[in-house]
């Protein structure tokens, strides 16, 4: 055994509700290791989530956990953080939760640069409701609401975050379980709004509909289609086609929201 998760898991809550082969269990494990490695006290960690498969995560882990309404993870998280900035706040949600119904909260949390870490679990689909297309479903992919293939254009979540003003933006996949842990830790250490987009497989809602391989095949797909950012930057446009960069995509310093507010209004 390389790591004992039991310290952070709530007793009697595992097995989780995720389908066989769902990547979210892998993310949960990396997240636990990242929190352990940064050494935060469990009492000081607040986790918020919205609605959807990803948003069930906080129920399994032994922190102060807040499973909110659809898309509102970051809005609740902002209230918690502004009311008590000492808490380490982690907000999470899926691609639909964070960038469709919660899109407004997402861009404004980025803009404020509030010291919250946000994890977006991107599995290209609405899983909980059975596989409808989301803002990240690839064009042409099938979904229960796109029986002829998806006509929509996609959000690039990381680029959206950078454009909206997030100061730390990273992307990883469930293939990269250990690098994911390291990126999460970096995101925790970053002062300001940090985002890690995690590409994950939904074998049930997305995989089946699109005749993708097994859960392991989806993980292999992530390995084959992701490119480390350093290498990505040297690639031609043709080489980039169909692939996506992973690693730290953006890391800058800007005044943190609550600190700036406090300084501005004379609160120390």
Supply the minimum distance, in Å, between the C-beta of residue 181 and other proteins.
9
The stretch among 99-107, 118-126, 138-146, 246-254 that binds other proteins (CB under 8 A) is: 99-107
The stretch among 45-53, 120-128, 132-140, 144-152 that binds other proteins (CB under 8 A) is: 45-53
Provide the b/e sequence for 58-71 (b: ≥16 CB within 10 Å).
bebbbbbbbbbebb
54 binds other proteins (CB under 8 A): no
Nearer to other proteins, 81 or 249 (CB): 81
Provide the token pair at 16: 């989780």
Expressed in angstroms, the distance from the first to the final Cα of the chain is 46
Q: Site residues for other proteins, window 226-265 (CB under 8 A)?
A: 258, 261-262, 265
**Which residue in the set 40, 129, 152, 177 belongs to the binding site for other proteins (CB under 8 A)?**
177
- In angstroms, what CA-CA distances link 260 with 35, 82, 147, 266? 26, 12, 49, 10
Q: Using CA atoms in the order 78, 67, 100, 75, what is the torsion angle rounded to 10 degrees?
A: -10
Nearer to other proteins, 124 or 175 (CB): 175
- Establish whether the linkage from the previous residue to 79 is cis, with ω within 30° of 0: no
**Which residue in the set 36, 38, 40, 80 belongs to the binding site for other proteins (CB under 8 A)?**
80
User: Residue 107: which residues within 8 A CB-CB, separation 6 or more?
Assistant: 160, 164
Classify residue 41 by burial, with Cβ atoms within 10 Å: 0-12, 13-18, 19+.
exposed
Nearer to other proteins, 178 or 230 (CB): 178
Nearer to other proteins, 26 or 143 (CB): 26
How many Cα atoms occupy the beta-carbon half-sphere of 121 within 13 Å?
A: 32
Supply the minimum distance, in Å, between the C-beta of residue 241 and other proteins.
27
- Is the separation of the CB atoms in 166 and 190 below 8 Å? no
11 binds other proteins (CB under 8 A): no
The residues that touch other proteins, with contacts defined as CB under 8 A, are 1-2, 5, 9-10, 13-16, 18-26, 28-29, 42-44, 46, 48, 51, 58-59, 62-69, 72, 75-84, 86-87, 104-105, 107-108, 174-175, 177-178, 203, 214-217, 219-220, 258, 261-262, 265-267
């Amino acid at each position: 055994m390389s790591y004992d998760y039991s310290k952070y898991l709530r007793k009697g809550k595992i097995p989780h509700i995720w389908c066989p082969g769902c990547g979210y269990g892998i993310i949960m494990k990396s997240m636990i290791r990242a929190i352990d490695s940064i050494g935060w006290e469990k009492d000081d960690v607040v986790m918020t989530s919205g609605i959807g498969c990803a948003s069930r995560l906080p129920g399994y882990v032994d922190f102060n956990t807040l499973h909110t309404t659809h898309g509102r993870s970051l809005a609740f998280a902002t209230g918690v953080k502004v009311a008590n900035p000492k808490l380490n706040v982690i907000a999470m949600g899926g691609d639909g939760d964070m960038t469709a119904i919660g899109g407004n909260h997402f861009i404004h949390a980025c803009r404020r640069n509030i010291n919250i870490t946000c994890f977006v679990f991107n599995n290209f689909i609405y899983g909980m409701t059975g596989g409808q297309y989301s803002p990240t479903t690839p064009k042409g992919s099938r979904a229960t609401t796109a029986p002829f293939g998806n006509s929509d254009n996609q959000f690039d979540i990381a680029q959206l975050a950078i454009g909206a003003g997030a100061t730390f933006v990273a992307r990883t996949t469930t293939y990269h379980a250990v690098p994911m842990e390291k990126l999460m830790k970096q995101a925790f250490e970053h002062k300001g709004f940090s985002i890690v987009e995690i590409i994950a497989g939904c074998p049930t809602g997305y995989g089946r509909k699109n005749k993708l391989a097994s859960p392991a095949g989806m993980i292999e797909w992530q390995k084959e289609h992701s490119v480390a950012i350093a290498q990505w930057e040297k690639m031609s446009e043709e080489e980039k086609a169909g692939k996506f960069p992973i690693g730290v995509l953006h890391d800058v310093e800007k005044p943190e929201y609550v600190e700036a507010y406090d300084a501005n209004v004379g609160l120390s």
